[in-house]
A and B are shown apart, each in its own frame.
Chain A
Amino acid sequence: MTTSTVLRLTLLTAALTASSALAQTKQIIGVSIPSADHGWTAGVVYHANQAKAQLQKLYPTAQIIVKTAKDANEQANQIQDLYTINKITALVILPQESAPLTRPIANLKAKGVFITVVDRGLSDPKAQNAYVAGDNNGFGRVAGDYISAQLGAAGGNVVVLRGITSVVDNQRNAAFQAAIKKNANVKLLDSRYGNWNRDDAFKVMQDYLTRFPKIDAVWAADDDMAVGVLRAIQQAGRKDIKIVLGGAGMKEMVKRLIDGDPLIKANVTYPPSMIAEAMRLTVESRVKGTPLAASTIIPSVLITKANASKYYFPNSPF
């Protein structure tokens, strides 16, 4: 944190003393992301700050301002401030919610700001110049295919933990359900909201364990939720569960996978580093003046013991 502040200050000083020729090509890029309220968003904040330091070193004419917001309302105010006070020329935004932010973002685009939307699509795609996202359909599909393949012809009972009511969550679940339907012997017992956090997932899993005497696989859909699920299973001392599949590739879970945990045998990526990718693409395109593809999808892939080392980042907070 402090090094990036120092870096920012030196850059600011450099910018102030820079020649007028340089000032003309100066690009100010605003980055607006949700504040770190769970593991994945903490990863987003980490990768955004890492990318900021790297990109500013790589492109001295670019100034990057990273802001976090705790809800859609704060984020809408924030991007207004970024425009009027910081005079941004481009905005990379991971919207807290799609619908309420579409209009404020469209307003900025109308004023000539280049808009890159990350992860959560706007309700009107015309409000953005570029879209960089994880593959939510793929995230659900890969998970569903894996569980149904692991249960095999014998099939089994599956319970699902959902995140927070949102478009992302709906897409993932629809894709997951479509994938497990292909195996007629896999039975979906129930899906409940665990709100992408450990405590709620713990409670929901406890109640699943009370309610269903035989569960074969749990799609926890998120590694934070998987932590709570594992604790609940451990507490109940149940031996019937064979698979707990989280998601997003949290470092502790990838570590367990590498170490050969009996329940955690796979993971599905949904990298928080997509914010860094979006920032890199935007800064490059702005500084060099090259066009940016309207849509960039970062695929979700299955992590197994074989390829796990590629997805293990011990230094990231996530």
Chain B
Amino acid sequence: MSTPSPSPAPTPSPLSSVAAPGPTLLGRIGSLGPLLGLLALMLVATALNPDFLSVSNLTNILTRAAFTGIIAVGMTFVIISGGIDLSVGSLAALIAGGMILVMNALVPGLGAGWGTVLVGMAFALTLGAVAGFLHGFIITRGRIEAFIVTLGTLGIFRAVLTYLSQGGAISLDLGVSDRYSPVFYGSLLGVPIPILVFALVALVGGLILNRTRYGRYVQAIGSNEQVARYAAINVGGVKIATYVLLGVCVAIATTLYVPRLGSASPSTGLLWELEAIAAVIIGGTALKGGHGRIWGTVVGAILLVTIENVLNLTNIISVYLNAAVQGVVIILVAFFQRGGRK
């Protein structure tokens, strides 16, 4: 990966629409919108129930955010390049079911050890990358709208899982499950592994987006595809790579999800696509593409999970209105961060 000539941090790329020379104070506050929203929500939550700030609750929130958060990091690339992927929830379900079946099949030969788990993970990553490649290939070479292609695969992936599970749940062999469960329940230096993986994925994602030529190409294509083409950028290839990246992110999230309950069912990953897309947009990435930021996506993912958590920790709002509160908070945050975009 080559790094373009060193330049000050907020370099507005000539193709990007963030061209805001010397951001105003209001603009600066606006670009911090999601973070301020999250802090405000945390203040409210602590006032309602002091247990909110307990270490165990905060780690619960972050581990939950890890699934959709990791997917949302990949989704950020796809959306910045001007694409969309609606199939991620179904793909997660299919990968979960597929890797469980593969691991169960390996138990008689390989035993219920790490070998089996590693093969299962490798299978998951391969399946994710292949699915992503297929998306990218059909979208760019077949010239079909990303919305339609991934809407189609949304149905296909979940239907295949439902078929494989005969509508029930696919459960992991108990021996493998015991060996595999530390990947979700374990921790390193006191930090749960899903949170570490989430942080690592976000960090790598941020580096790729902001510090590599590839990241700039992605932004350029989303900003103006025609101009990017004239600039001799391999538009098709870059786009395919964004979908492969997202597929791999889905696979990483799934390898963390499977050890949690040790099963996949047709309700696995339901609506994750909307949560991931919402996290990306709340974080300040433009739905029309062109520019975006990984840290915003991370905050967006955490914010979405926090709303749900706060509602569960208090009794002041009727459970029937949970979805309404979530809606209001999402719109409010989007409203405050709109100053950051022109």
Contacts and interface: CB of A to CB of B under 8 A. Distances in A.
B168 A203 contact: no
A191 interface: yes
A231 interface: yes
Given A41-B167, A207-B313, A199 B263 contact: no
A211 B167 contact: no
Interface residues of B, number: 31
Contacts of B268: 199
A203 B167 contact: no
Contacts of A46: 166-168
A227 B51 CA distance: 25
Interface stretch (B53-61, B114-122, B196-204, B242-250): B53-61
B267 A192 contact: no
B166 A36 contact: yes
Given A37-B267, A210-B54, A227 B261 contact: yes
Contact of A35 (B57, B60, B167, B168): B167
Interface string B253-281: 00000001101011110100000000000
B313 A36 contact: no
Contacts of A211: 49, 51, 312-313
Contacts of A191: 319
B145 interface: no
Given A206-B60, A210-B60, A198 B261 contact: yes
A198 B265 contact: yes
B114 to A, nearest CB: 22
A192 B314 CA distance: 11
A39 B167 CA distance: 7
A159 B47 CA distance: 23
A227 B263 CA distance: 10
A206 B54 CA distance: 13
A45 B309 CA distance: 34
Interface residues of A, number: 37
Interface in B134-159: none
A147 to B, nearest CB: 21
Interface in A46-69: 46
Contacts of A235: 185
Nearest to B269: A199
Given A210-B54, A211-B49, A39 B265 contact: yes
B286 to A, nearest CB: 30
Interface string A224-248: 1001100100011000000000000
Given A198-B265, A206-B60, A36 B54 contact: no
A199 B309 CA distance: 14
A138 B319 CA distance: 24
Q: Which of A43, A204, A227: most chain B Cβ within 10 A?
A: A227
A202 B320 contact: no
A244 to B, nearest CB: 15
B64 interface: yes
A317 B167 contact: yes
A203 B312 contact: yes
23 contacts: A35-B162, A36-B166, A37-B167, A38-B266, A39-B265, A42-B168, A45-B167, A162-B319, A197-B265, A197-B267, A198-B261, A198-B263, A199-B261, A199-B268, A202-B260, A208-B312, A210-B60, A211-B51, A227-B261, A228-B261, A317-B167, A317-B168, A318-B168
Given A42-B168, A210-B56, A211-B51, 4 more contacts: A197-B267, A198-B265, A199-B261, A208-B312
Interface of B: 49, 51, 54, 56-57, 60, 64, 162, 165-169, 171, 185, 260-261, 263, 265-268, 270, 308-309, 312-313, 315, 319-320, 322
The 9 closest A-B pairs by CB, nearest first: A36-B167, A317-B168, A42-B167, A207-B312, A42-B168, A197-B267, A210-B57, A206-B60, A37-B266
